[in-house]
Each structure stands twice: as structure tokens, then as C-alpha cells.
Structure 1
Amino acid sequence: MQNVGIVDMVLYAPPTYALVSDMEPLNPARSLEGLIIREMAVCGPENDSVSLGLSATRKLLAKHPGIAPLIGFLHVGTESSVDKSKSISSFIRQLPELAEATNVGCCDHVHACYGGTDAFLACVKEMSSPFWDPAKRYGLVVATDIAVYQGEKAIPSGGAGAVCVLIGPDAPLIANPDPVYAGAHYWDFFKPHLGSEYPIVNGRESIDAYMANAADCYTRWADRTGLSLDDCARVVTHVPFGRQALKAMGKFIELHCERTGVELTEARAQELQSRLLPALRIPRRTGNSYTASVFTALMSTVLTGLRPGDRVLVYSYGSGHQGTMYTVTANPAAPVDIEGPAGWAEWNRRETAWEEKWIGNTAPSGPRFAGIMVPGVLDLLRDLDGRAKVQVARPTDEEPLTIAHIDVLRRREQFVSTLEAQVAALEPTDLVTVAGGAMGLESDFVLGFVTAGFRRIYSTRSRS
């Protein structure tokens, strides 16, 4: 296949958010302006990395009906796995829209925030190689994550989101064969407690590792290609928060000037820095989405407009650590036509999740919102054994709530009847404690184990 690259991208972010400005009281001694994040996406108990990935994939497939038989690759990048063995990609392939996609390679990629990029490059390489089945035309890559941190001071560094990328030949965004890599063994960010989503973070070391890796990748990319920032109309980086992306761009500019011998004037510095700024548009409204972060930044850049032939420099990073730099080019023969979040209208309908609707910093799932119902979005609910999933389609205005896929094991009915009998008298903030007590289980473990009938009650009360 020729000119393999990005055919389309779709973003799904939770319909709830917290204003970062409202979080200042959590850490009065620290200004949050440096995050350059306006809103932080917040998940409810009905969301996990699987439900986010499912919703993003379903949105993309709705834009491209009938492509399922032509899909030969379905890989997921995540660091928010819900199972130590079963892949998120295996959950995604249960979508009715993928029923005809049976001859498909299916796998997850895990390396902190880098997994989505690894899945993307693996797909591009396979589709460009003799190993690819010529009967197939497309690959799907999903990057999905929920970023949560322990302790009130760290909450503003979180976020959530999923991006589904459709990859194919003669793409509007051609992936150039120029990736370079840099990495080392670091203990800057890791999650050794398998029952918790909270990372152990060495903040200073993590930032230093990011910057050193960014410098290594730029140097290696420039050496390999003979190109420089002058050859790139836009720059995209991994965005854990806005200031980090700006610092990375500053390092690229510094290295560019050292290599070219060009004097850096203030005007020139501002012009080069402006090549990154479009990438921050979506991340400012989702916060950190780990593996999806670099794709939300790339999507932001595309939405601001690219001219035919424009080259975009992309830097992706994951703690631990691994980084990659590569470029994509706007195909003059296939105009880029990637839609934003419905003209941003759906984002403007999102609800704030702070203050009275905020459940709190509940390990192991982190800060959680009480939950609202959004038509047409998928939820995944665990059973009490944690082994099965219920895929629930939320109602549209015309349709009742239906369960599209049921594979629930024992004790579900007992749990539901016990919980529904008590929930009517509860305040939303009491949910976690009582839900756990209902079955004698740890409250955090039960947080996501709700059913369609219970969620109707809970959702109504949480908005009253």
C-alpha cells in the first residue's frame, strides 16, 4: 500500500469536566496557571478506559459505515487496563459494527503514555509491508486513558479521553518513513499496585526525563532526515500539561539554532513557538489523557487548518521511558477533512463536575463524578466478580434504555435489589460508602458495579 497514514480521527471525551480554576483551593501555595489547562475531563462511575474507547470507536465507525470487512488491524494503546490479561481491543471488537471484522489482528500496547503511538506506528509499518493482507484496506488504532493522581494537590494534573484513528492508503495525513526512537530504564512514573490506578511519580525526575528524551529524539530525527524546524509547518508534542509542551518546543528551538547557526531573535522565537500553539486547543479542555494526549494535540493542529504539503513534526513520550519523533504530511491529492467535536457544540453542552457533584479522591479509581446520562454513548459495567462486562446503550430521546450485550455472572440480581432498596434515600455523596456496605465489599471496588435501573435513579438524584 502507498501513502499509508491517517484517514480520519475521532475524539471521545467524558461529558463532564472540572474547571481548573476551581481547584486553586486544593493547593493555595501553587499557581495552576502554568498548567495552561482550562478544563479537566472527569469520568463518572459508568466510565472506564474500555467505555471511552468503545464510544470513540463507535463514533468513527458511524462516519464510515460498511468498512468493517476491510479492517485488518485493531490495536489499542493504554495505561489504564481493566484486566491484567484480557485486552481492551478484545472488548472493542464486540461492537455490533465490527461483527464482520473477524480476520483482524487484535492487541494492546502498554508503555505509559507512549502506547498509543506504538500501536499507530505498528499499524503503519504492517500496512506498508508485504505482510499486509491486500484484501484489507484499513486499520484501527485506539488510544484511551483516564489520568488520576493521588492527593488533592495532584488532582489538577488529571484528565481523560479516547481517540480512534482510522489508518489506510492514500491518506489525507501521510505517515512519513522517518521515525526515530530514544529511551532508557527510569523509575520516574510507574504503577506497581495492580489494584490502583494511582501512579508513583517522581515529579522532578519525570520532567527531566521528558526533556532529555525530547532533545535526544530531535537530534536523532534531524540527523536521520537532514530536516529541521524550518521544514515543519506545525509541531505536536505529548501534552501532560501545557507548560511541558511549551518547554519541549523551547528545547527544539534551542537545538535548531545550535545546529543551523541561526541567531534567535525574539520575533523568530515567537514565530517558531507559534507552530506548537494550535496543538494545545483540545488538551486545554480535556487535561492529560495519557496515550490519547498526543493524538488530541495532533487533532487540534489539523482542525486549525493545514495546507497541502504541510509537514507536521510529532513528538510522543511515555514515562519509564520511551520517546519517538516522526512526521506526517498533508496529502495534496487528498484534502484533510477531519471533524472536530461536532463543531465544539457537544463540548459546550458538557456539565461541570466540581463541588457538590464531586465524589472525591476515592482510591483506586481516583476522582469520580456522580454521573450523567448522554444519549448514544456506551457504558461498560463490571459484575461483582470483575470478570464480565455489560455493554449498556444509553437512551436517546425516543428509545428506552436497553442492554445491548449481557454476559453477567452470579450475584448480580442480589446486588441490584439490595442497592436499589437503599439508594432512594441517599444523597449522591453517600453512594460510595453504602454501595460497598450493601455487599460487604470495599466501596471503591464496587463503585463501577451498577446497573441500568440503578443508574437511572442515581443519575436523577445527582442532578437534582
Structure 2
Amino acid sequence: MSVGIDKIGFFTPNKYVDMVDLAHARNEDPNKFLIGIGQTAMSIADKTQDAVSMGINATLRYMDKIDKDKVGLLIFGTESSVDQSKSASLFVKNALNLPASMRAFEVKEACFGLTAGLMMARDFVRVHPDQTAIVIGSDIARYGIKTPGEVTQGAGSISLLVKDNPSILELNDGHSDYSEDINDFWRPNNSKLAKVDGKYSTQVYLDFFSKTFEAYKKQKNLANKDFTAITYHMPFTKMALKANRIAIEGQDEATSQRLTDKFEAAKKWSSLVGNIYTGSLYLSLLSLLEHGNLKAGDLVGLFSYGSGAMGEFYSGNVVLGYEDQLDKSGDEELINSRRKLSIAEYEQIFTDSLADPQDGVALLSDEKPGTWYFAGTKDDIRQYKKI
């Protein structure tokens, strides 16, 4: 039997910062951000959007196309958790009226969380082919105003439906893993801002890519030329570009050109949305599917990385008619309809979002009708509402 990705839902908040504006405000050459980092814009979450609300909204993108009664597993991968005990998946389950007879939990390993959930979902469906699984990756990347990591922030969520005989991507057997206890990125319990050693993290990321990519090719008896495209965890596009350069080094002209062209297609959405942590690899996959002119059977490699650190490489084959399962125009509208913030507005929204709302005070959202949002707390219990 084949198991894989049958639906993909994407959500990002309705506000963004332009990198040229940010560069000017920070007295930097815009090309440092546009070329040196590879980013054009980044989505900004205000205090009414968190990991849970974004996860609900991403999953809503395909809920009317599936049989909810067949969902037997819901996994929520995040490093922007809203509760130290209760799983984010239970908030989502309630909002979407999913069945009570299902397993639901949250997982964490930095940006690797969605991949960990996807692998568990794949194995679950293999054992329970009559059921489906929803896996969500949802995060807000925050490093702080006027910090070195400021330009690599972002916010968004990706939701995947996993089932047998999938309509988008069949996941292949096998994968290669590599992990070490490394302090390249972390966020202490007492901080809402992440800590990162940027240059070291990039070095580790590239090292883990090389190790897992080589191990996977050996395991599956594959060569670089066998991949139609390779997608990467993409916290900022220049980081993934460096990995792609490793993949094309020493290859024939046709292979190098193909992998380069597909990389350009895969980075489009990430360059406009920014870093969404657990969902970053899958935002690049979505962008590849929507802009890469793939055909049935094409082999796509996927490199997942979570700081701390965990790396994994696996692959999938594109399914005939996958285009019909995507909502490219909806994704374009979601990104293009965002409101551009002035730097002063961005800084105020960012600062406000770091403070917990006063208990009992309702929050109001300016997202479009039908969008779910975090409405504040009541008796210290988080409230989620739909506009």
C-alpha cells in the first residue's frame, strides 16, 4: 500500500514587514537582507494569532474536502507551545469538531516537530489503512527587535492530511537520521524570544544535510541525478540555498540546472512569509508543488532539520493529478492580501505580543471573517473564537 500526503493547508497572519523598509530602518544595505539572507518579506503575528489559531486556520483550508469521521490521529508539532501541559492539538480538535474517538497530542524538537509527526502518522495509517491522520506544524519565530536574527522571523502554519493512496505525494519507505546534543538554537522557559548562534547553526545544518543525504542515497541506491527536486527546511532562503549548492556540486549540467530551477520554485513562498519553524520545510514543498511544474512520478527529496539538533532525509513521489488537490490561487490571495506594516507599527505589534493579556479581557482580531483567533483568557483558560 502507498501512504502519503493527501491534502495541504497553509495559513499565515494578515500583516507583514517589507525587508527593504526594515533594512532602511536598521541602517543596512537592503541587499544584505534581500540577497545575503534571501528574504523579501516576513509575516507578523499580532497578539490574537498564536500557534493554535494558525493551526486551526491551516487545517480549515481542506476540512470541507475530507471525511472527519475517518480521522483517527491528530499530531501538533510546535516550538511555540501555548501551554506547559495541555496539547495544542486538543484546542484544534475542539474547534474543528473532530471525533472524540481519536488520539491527539503535541510533539517538540525545534523545527523537526512536523516531520516527527508526519513519520508517526505514516506508520499509523499503515496499520490503520481505513483511518486518516492530521499533522500540523505551527509556529511564530521571534528573535527580537534590532537583533541579528530579526530578519529571519515569521509566522505561519502548515497542516497535512495523511492517508493511504494519497493524492499529492506518496512517501517512500526508508529515511536517514542524524542527531547530536548541540547548542545552536534554544528558547529558555522564561523567555518568549529565541536564542541562536546563527553562524554555528548554519554550519551544523549543512553538516547534517550532508550526512543524511549521503546516507539516504547509499541506503536507497540513488544518485543526485535521480531527484527531480530537493526541498529543505528553510528558516531563511539563503540557508537552504547553501544546502542546494552542496547537492549540485560536481553534478552534470542538466542535473545542476534542474535542481537549481526547482529550488527557485520551492523558495518563493518562504521568501515572502519568513521563518515558520516546524512548517518551513513543508511551506517550501507547497511552493515547489505550486510553482515547480512537476509531473507524476517525480522523485522529491526532503531534508528536515531541527536545532539542538535533529536531521532527517526522506523522499516521496508526486502523484498524478496532484495539482487538483492544491489551492494555489487561495495561497496567493492569502499572501498578497496581507497589510504592509510601517516599521513603527511592526515594533508596537511585536512588543504588545510579548505581553500576556490580562485575564478576563477579550481580544478582538482584524483578520477576515471566518478566521479563528486567540480571544484572550478566562480564568486563565485560553479562548479561541471565529470571526
Fold shared, TM-score > 0.5 on shorter chain? yes
Aligned to 1:88: 88
Distance in 1, Cα, partners of 2:181 & 2:156: 27
Q: Which one of 304, 310, 316 corresponds to residue 328 of structure 1? A: 316
Cα 1:156–1:70 change in 2 (3 A) is same
- Pairwise CA distance, 1:268: 5.6
Aligned to 1:187: 183
Q: How does 1:101-120 map to 2 (within 5 A)?
A: 101-120=99-118
Aligned to 2:283: 296
Aligned to 1:306: 294
Cα 1:227–1:96 change in 2 (3 A) is closer
Distance in 2, Cα, partners of 1:326 & 1:38: 29
- Pairwise CA distance, 1:334: 6.8
- Pairwise CA distance, 1:233: 1.0
Contact 1:26 1:152 in 2 (8 A): no
Residue-pair matches, total = 372
Aligned to 1:229: 224
* Per-residue CA distance 1:52-101 (angstroms, 9 max, x = gap): 1111122221333xx11100110011000011111111111112432xx1
Q: How does 1:15-414 map to 2 (within 5 A)?
A: 15-29=14-28, 31-33=32-34, 34-64=36-66, 67-98=67-98, 101-129=99-127, 132=128, 136-153=130-147, 154-172=149-167, 173-192=169-188, 194-254=189-249, 257=250, 269-304=256-291, 305-332=293-320, 337-340=325-328, 342=330, 344-358=332-346, 359=348, 361-362=350-351, 365=354, 372-383=366-377, 387-394=380-387
Could you list the structure 1 runs, at least 4 aligned residues long, displaced by more than 4 angstroms after superposition: 333-336
- Pairwise CA distance, 1:353: 2.0
Aligned to 1:403: none
- Pairwise CA distance, 1:253: 2.2
Distance in 2, Cα, partners of 1:225 & 1:26: 49
Distance in 1, Cα, partners of 2:255 & 2:166: 32
* Per-residue CA distance 1:157-183 (angstroms, 9 max, x = gap): 100101111111111210111211111
- Pairwise CA distance, 1:341: 5.0
What SS does structure 2 have at the residue aligned with 1:92? helix
AA matched with 2:310: Q
Contact 2:19 2:39 in 1 (8 A): yes
Distance in 2, Cα, partners of 1:59 & 1:332: 21
Contact 1:61 1:97 in 2 (8 A): no
What SS does structure 1 have at the residue aligned with 2:20? helix
Which deviates the most, 13-22 or 348-357?
348-357
What SS does structure 2 have at the residue aligned with 1:278? helix
Cα 1:271–1:149 change in 2 (3 A) is same
* Per-residue CA distance 1:375-427 (angstroms, 9 max, x = gap): 11001233265x31222211xxxxxxxxxxxxxxxxxxxxxxxxxxxxxxxxx
Task: Give the % identical residues.
Answer: 25
- Pairwise CA distance, 1:360: 5.4
Aligned to 1:459: none
What SS does structure 2 have at the residue aligned with 1:281? helix
Give the TM-score of the pair, scaled to structure 1: 0.76
Distance in 2, Cα, partners of 1:371 & 1:103: 32
Contact 1:11 1:341 in 2 (8 A): no
AA matched with 1:22: D
Aligned to 1:13: 12
AA matched with 1:46: T
AA matched with 1:59: R
Distance in 1, Cα, partners of 2:367 & 2:108: 30
Distance in 2, Cα, partners of 1:302 & 1:46: 30
Aligned to 2:360: none
Aligned to 1:426: none
Query: Highest relative contact order (Cα 8 Å, sep 6+), 1 or 2?
Result: 2
AA matched with 1:326: Y
Which deviates the most, 353-362 or 373-382?
353-362
Q: Which runs of 5+ in 1 are unaligned?
A: 395-464
Distance in 2, Cα, partners of 1:142 & 1:174: 18
Aligned to 1:410: none
Cα 1:335–1:39 change in 2 (3 A) is closer
AA matched with 1:342: G
* Per-residue CA distance 1:249-279 (angstroms, 9 max, x = gap): 111223xx3xxxx5x56x7634432232211
AA matched with 1:140: I
- Pairwise CA distance, 1:103: 1.5
AA matched with 2:224: L
* Per-residue CA distance 1:271-293 (angstroms, 9 max, x = gap): 43223221111111110000011
Which of structures 1 and 2 has the bigger CA Rg? Answer: 1
